Structure 1
Amino acid sequence: MVNAVCGAYGLCSSNDNETVNCECLPSYVFLDPSNPTKGCHPETMINFCADLSTGNSRVEAIKDSDMPYNEVGDYEIYRDIDEEGCKKVVMEDCYAMAASLFNRTCYKKRTPILNARKTSMTKGSISFIKVPINSAKDGIPTKKKSNTRAHLTAGLITSSSLAVLFGALALYYHPAPRRLVRREWNPNSSRIGINFREFTYKELHEATNGFSKQLGKGASAKVYFGNLNLKDVQVEIAVKRMADVAEKSEKVFMTELRIIGRTHHKNLVKLLGFCIEDNHFLLVYELMKNGALSEFLFKEEMLPTWSHRTEMALGIARGLLYLHEECDTPIIHCDIKPQNVLLDSKYNAKISDFGLSKLLKKDQTRTDTCARGTVGYLAPEWLRNAPITPKVDIFSFGVMLLEITCGRRHIELSRVEEESEDDEGDDLLLVNWVAGCVRSGRIDKLARRDPEVLNDVQRLERFVKVGLW
């Protein structure tokens, strides 16, 4: 059986011709409609634990489907139970997102749901998924709809009347036609509350030789190599250029600029300056010569040494401690993963990419915000619409710590079982595999026959336990 083909919250269905189709579980939509295998996210965010008495959710059944058993996903099992009983245990537990019923056994699921499937082998099984009650779909009383529509209509009429009135006044006092001009926004460093050098676009264009050497790219930006003269010293730099400056990209840019402008720590990437000119938005960083941790960690040729990996893990932990507890204003990164950790010339790990981060007020310990981050590293709070705290970063760090410790990605669709007599089998999901090794007392399997790791079993065990916690 191959799991998670359709990603998190995807439903994999196949027929006898062995063709596979991916769709989303009820109340979820594709992260990327052009690539269904990337998984799905909630269409409507809701806190199922906010108030169980409000009736804000229901349980939907998917006939002839299941969510196969795994050691981490199934946190409670009920035997000799019928369909209504299985539905009830899901509804009564605000932290339960789903359940599978097979042979009168109900397996209650925690997030994320990675292997929902509907095939010829799942006949007779039933899956249950908790979904929010949507007024458009689930029959909110007609009277309420009518009241809402009446209020909306009245509001539109009032707004239209005011618009006509203000339009008439504008024409009366300013009869001459005026040409519409695009608002240009050119804040300087003092106006946006930071103290960094502000470069001109021409300076950075010349420093990067016309943005000719690309170092990497993300969803909203590309990064280029450059060479800049700062105080008569030639400095190698990385220039992050927003690829498409729409409103969302501009917001990401300003968030990163403001947040990293408040920080100074050896395990955070150093910002040297910025450029906001016309439609150009650029950030200038110190060059991290050894690239992203993901590239270094998952090389096919050779796994980095154990001492290298432990130092990187500790460096990232120090950076997170600084963000969460040592800044004047606590910062939640919101997207901790190996791709957002960069390595300098001495392989020191530094946290980067603060475009999704959130600032907390001095007296604030939690905040409400929409889901953000990367599937596989997302803490359960994001999917329950619960208040967000720095713990979401700790959850992501735990997943990444297991990746660093074991030298393996958190999910590998092409994973094959190791062939050995005493091997108890491998698992597609890193967390499942590690948990199974710990439970069976075979933590040595995680060392991958590396003598350096086997000679440091106590630290290996500590890293693994912290990662699982």
Structure 2
Amino acid sequence: MESATGGFKQVLGSGASSTVYKGVLGERSGGNVAVKVLDKLREDDNREFTTEVKVIAGTNHKNLVKLVGVCSEGKNHLLVYEYMSNGSLASLLFKADPRPNWYTRAQIAISVARGVEQTRTMTAIRGTKGYVAPEWFRNMAITTKVDVYSFGVVLLELVCCRRGFEMEGYEEEEMVLVDWAHECYGDRMVGRLVEKDEEAMKDLVKVERFVKIGLWCVQEDPCLRPEMKKVVHMLEGAVEVSVPPSPASYINTV
């Protein structure tokens, strides 16, 4: 892998627990691959890593990047994915100029939801700070609802076309997107989330529906989060979306 990446020189992106490099490996993906180098794992993390690799390797969906191979030696773990020349969703949302319009983002949201529902995993972002469900840090069972939480954060990012956590250019109460979305929805001022997006401002009914779905997905209590199949139906407008509980509702019960 060191040879394939030219000494791990070209960084494609990084997260809280990994860095992705561009590499060249045979004829796959036109010869190009994306090599994800995970932080060194503890010995007791190896079983979880093996399980997650099996899940990723078993997925086959047009909306999900394919796993080409795995390298595992001691505490060093690398995942080799097909290279996507158009970049990641994050690059499309936060770095592209111009960024995708509201109608395109809405379609992307539905497409991603369908992919998660069919594969039942969002492993690619599970280790990235900001997308991780709170039960990972508590003495609670880990279920597929952690993926629902991660999708909820992505959905709110798609609606607002901003990262889940931003400091530059935002007031203190706006920095954490999940909290800001809860506040705006609670104050019946969802338009504040998309006030600089003319197309979204003209489609506030759908914006509010998507925000409500996102808030259901990021509920602190995993039992309150909907199954991904229902999320897809809600996004498509086939199922009515009820009012999500406020964050204080959960705090007052624990």
Structure 2 partner of 1:215: 12
Structure 1 partner of 2:247: none
Q: Does residue 1:460 correspond to 2:214, yes or no?
A: no
1:163-222: per-residue Cα shift (whole Å, max 9, x none)?
xxxxxxxxxxxxxxxxxxxxxxxxxxxxxxxxxxxxxxxxx5554344443323455554
Structure 1 partner of 2:86: 290
Distance 2:196 2:18 in 1: 40
- Equivalent of 1:450 in 181, 197, 218: 197
SS at match of 2:31: strand
Deviation at 1:398, TM superposition (A): 1.8
Letter in 1 for 2:13: G
Instruction: Assess if the C-alpha contact under 8 Å between 2:67 and 2:81 holds in 1.
Output: yes
Distance 2:42 2:187 in 1: 52
Instruction: Assess if the C-alpha contact under 8 Å between 1:437 and 1:443 holds in 2.
Output: yes
| Structure 1: gaps of 5 or more residues | 1-203, 325-330, 336-351, 357-372, 418-424
Distance 1:258 1:309 in 2: 30
Alpha-carbon distance change, 241 to 301 in structure 1, aligned in 2, over 3 angstroms = closer
Distance 2:68 2:211 in 1: 36
Structure 1 partner of 2:22: 225
Deviation at 1:376, TM superposition (A): 4.1
Alpha-carbon distance change, 256 to 451 in structure 1, aligned in 2, over 3 angstroms = same
Instruction: Assess if the C-alpha contact under 8 Å between 1:220 and 1:249 holds in 2.
Output: no
Distance 1:293 1:245 in 2: 26
Structure 2 partner of 1:387: 141
TM alignment of 1:28-107, pairs within 5 A: none
Alpha-carbon distance change, 283 to 448 in structure 1, aligned in 2, over 3 angstroms = same
Deviation at 1:321, TM superposition (A): 0.4
Structure 2 partner of 1:145: none
Letter in 2 for 1:229: G
Instruction: Assess if the C-alpha contact under 8 Å between 2:43 and 2:75 holds in 1.
Output: no
Deviation at 1:242, TM superposition (A): 5.0
- Equivalent of 1:403 in 157, 161, 165: 157
SS at match of 2:109: helix
1:372-403: per-residue Cα shift (whole Å, max 9, x none)?
x5554444444552333222221232222112
Distance 1:390 1:239 in 2: 26
SS at match of 2:164: coil
Alpha-carbon distance change, 248 to 453 in structure 1, aligned in 2, over 3 angstroms = same
TM-score, length-scaled by structure 2 = 0.66
TM alignment of 1:102-251, pairs within 5 A: 204-218=1-15, 221-230=18-27, 234-242=30-38, 244=40, 247=43, 250-251=46-47
Instruction: Assess if the C-alpha contact under 8 Å between 1:415 and 1:427 holds in 2.
Output: no
Distance 1:244 1:280 in 2: 6
Alpha-carbon distance change, 264 to 463 in structure 1, aligned in 2, over 3 angstroms = same
1:240-259: per-residue Cα shift (whole Å, max 9, x none)?
34564763675565344322
Alpha-carbon distance change, 212 to 305 in structure 1, aligned in 2, over 3 angstroms = same
SS at match of 1:238: strand
Instruction: Assess if the C-alpha contact under 8 Å between 1:313 and 1:401 holds in 2.
Output: yes
Report sequence identity in percent.
Answer: 44
Letter in 2 for 1:267: N
Distance 1:208 1:428 in 2: 36
Distance 2:72 2:189 in 1: 55
* Higher helix proportion (structure 1 or 2): 2
* Higher strand proportion (structure 1 or 2): 1
Alpha-carbon distance change, 275 to 435 in structure 1, aligned in 2, over 3 angstroms = closer
Structure 2 partner of 1:272: 68
Larger Rg over CA atoms: 1
What is the alpha-carbon root mean square deviation over aligned residues? 3.6
Distance 1:275 1:244 in 2: 13
Deviation at 1:317, TM superposition (A): 0.8
TM alignment of 1:363-442, pairs within 5 A: 373=127, 376-414=130-168, 416=170, 427-442=174-189
Deviation at 1:446, TM superposition (A): 2.6
**Greater relative contact order: 1 or 2 (C-alpha under 8 angstroms, separation 6 or more)?**
2
Alpha-carbon distance change, 377 to 456 in structure 1, aligned in 2, over 3 angstroms = same
Letter in 1 for 2:208: E
Q: Does residue 1:312 correspond to 2:108, yes or no?
A: yes
Instruction: Assess if the C-alpha contact under 8 Å between 1:242 and 1:249 holds in 2.
Output: no
Instruction: Assess if the C-alpha contact under 8 Å between 2:40 and 2:77 holds in 1.
Output: no
Deviation at 1:230, TM superposition (A): 3.4
Deviation at 1:272, TM superposition (A): 1.8
Distance 2:201 2:192 in 1: 10
Structure 1 partner of 2:56: 260
Deviation at 1:407, TM superposition (A): 1.9
Instruction: Assess if the C-alpha contact under 8 Å between 1:381 and 1:387 holds in 2.
Output: yes
Equivalent pairs, count: 216
Letter in 1 for 2:214: G
Letter in 1 for 2:113: A
Distance 1:228 1:437 in 2: 47
Distance 1:408 1:279 in 2: 34
| Structure 2: gaps of 5 or more residues | 217-254
1:235-293: per-residue Cα shift (whole Å, max 9, x none)?
32112345647636755653443221221112222012334579875432100223333
